[in-house]
Amino acid sequence: MLALLSQQDSYAYELASRLAADVGMGEGTIYPLMRRLQSDGLVRTYLVESTSGPPRKYYKLTPAGRSAYTAQKAEWLGFVDSINAALREPR
């Protein structure tokens, strides 16, 4: 989520569509997550009118969100390395 928002502001429905395609994550996961990010101060929101339906609630990373992204990205990469090491390790 933070990665996607670091690239460009977006709204939950769009993020949900994208993540549904990529990793099988649905709206029921996204909306509560966005709330959590907001209450943690990592994102802020603004409304934008749409011609194709109700107004969209865009999410934008805050400075705290950006540094959380940096930290979590590093943590993720380390985690993946550990797992991949275990997967590779022949024996």
Partner DNA sequence: ATCGCTAACTTGCATAGCAAGGTATCATGC
Partner DNA sequence: GCATGATACCTTGCTATGCAAGTTAGCGAT
Closer to a copy of itself by CB, 47 or 80: give it: 80
Closer to a copy of itself by CB, 4 or 33: give it: 4
Does residue 2 bind DNA (CB under 7 A)? Answer: no
Minimum Å gap between C-beta 81 and a copy of itself is 10
What are residue 10's phi and psi, to 5 degrees?
-155, 175
Q: What angle do CA 16, 46, 38 make, to 5 degrees?
A: 65
Strands 10-11, 56-61: pairing is: antiparallel
Q: Is residue 30 within 8 Å of 12, Cβ to Cβ? A: yes
Q: Is residue 61 within 8 Å of 2, Cβ to Cβ? A: yes
Q: What is the contact surface with a copy of itself in residues (CB under 8 A)?
A: 3-4, 6-8, 22-23, 73, 76, 79-80, 82-87, 89-91
- Contacts with DNA by CB under 7 A lie at 11-14, 24-29, 31-36, 49-54, 56-58
